[in-house]
Amino acid sequence: MEHILLKISIMLVPALLAVTMHEVAHGFIADKLGDPTARLLGRLTLNPVKHLDPIGTIALLVFGFGWARPVPVNANNLRRAQKDMIWVSLAGPSANLMLALFCALLLRVVVYIAAAIPEGSQLLPMIEPVGLMAAFGLYINVILCLFNLLPIPPLDGGRVLMGILPESQSQLLRRIEPFGMLLIVFLIFGTSIWSSAFGPAVHSVVAMMAGSHMDVVEQTMRLLFYQ
């Protein structure tokens, strides 16, 4: 039980921040482009309670990826509905990318400070959890960024694709959208795409951002998911 509580204490804040910032970014850009729906519903807030999906949060903590309640966007309010939805859709993954970069920087700072602290100092037990949170934050934000960019509606990448394609092909994607999540579940659990393509892509991006501190990220993930 103590080990489980330790894991949750490390994962909870980065996970909630990742999904909350993702949804707020969607609503914020939509508001700037003419659709105030999210703002009027009180969804432009960093209060995670306003955004949590219970199943998505549990999945995030158990499997390392999950989701929040989507921020509502009324495309009819946007000034240029089809083109503006591209920017609204890209806002969420962009927020996760920015958070990933911040976590990578924070990880470097924590490792530098930890190396300068004398062994046995009482400061080490205080700073080590910050490093673990930064490492997990880097991992979870890269996953959310890349996962949401998959070109399958209703994921953000699918909506971007609908905004880029000609109207006839965009309409075809809209017909697929109601079955999009089933397709995604099949691709993840029914094929090898996660292990053969998506997983290695996530690892490569995390490694690029973590640099020489990738070993800290790998140790953190082993602690959280394999012990």
φ, ψ for residue 52, nearest 5 deg? -70, 140
* Helix or strand (DSSP H, E) at 141: helix 124-148
Q: Determine which one of 2, 23, 119, 128 is catalytic.
A: 23
| Contact predicate 157/163, CB 8 Å | no
Distances (CA, A) of 96 to 25, 41, 78, 113, 191: 9, 23, 23, 25, 26
Q: What amino acid occupies position 62?
A: V
Q: Nearest Cα to 19, choosing from 71, 85, 86, 62?
A: 71
23 is catalytic: yes
- Residue 139 neighbours by CB under 8 Å, 6+ apart: 64, 202, 206, 217, 220, 221
**How many distinct helices (H) and strands (E) make up the chain?**
11, 0
| Contact predicate 209/142, CB 8 Å | yes
Active site residues: 23
